[in-house]
Amino acid sequence: LKRFYQCAVRLQAAMKDRCSTSNVASVYIAADNNYAKLRIQSWDSSKSFKAASDIEVLHIGKSRFKEFDNLDLAYQRVWGELKVLIESACIVMSHSKFSYMGSDLSPQQPRCAVMHDDCEDRAVRDAVSSLHLPCTA
């Protein structure tokens, strides 16, 4: 989790530099784990990290569907989070199909995306260089 957070902060700073703005881009935390969302938010002193952490988490392929109070709503929220990933200016990715869908389905190609476990300066610089200007982050 800490690596995700540190990578997001690094990407956020690089976006700010690339977009020549004093504004800090908001970071949306999409995850299938509410604890992870809340933990990452707790490290953020800027309060720019946002998450929908009050929802039932549906992990497609792993969840026991009988446990959900409202399965239709759970599906809507999963697809809503995917839509946010697709439309985001930049994303920090894990090695999950969900992350890859968020990257691959984006109309912004090449995609501003960096892997959480390869978040060195070069990777962040390469990701941010593909941002479409003018920035709308």
> How far apart are alpha carbons 127 and 100 in whole angstroms?
15
The upper half-sphere exposure of residue 121, i.e. CA atoms within 13 Å in the direction of its Cβ, equals: 0
Beta carbons of 37 and 31 less than 8 angstroms apart: yes
Query: Per-residue pLDDT tens for 107-131?
Result: 989 999 999 999 999 999 999 998 8
Beta carbons of 116 and 2 less than 8 angstroms apart: no
The upper half-sphere exposure of residue 86, i.e. CA atoms within 13 Å in the direction of its Cβ, equals: 13
Query: Per-residue pLDDT tens for 15-68?
Result: 988 887 777 788 888 887 788 889 999 999 989 999 887 766 666 666 566 666
- Residue 76's pLDDT is 83
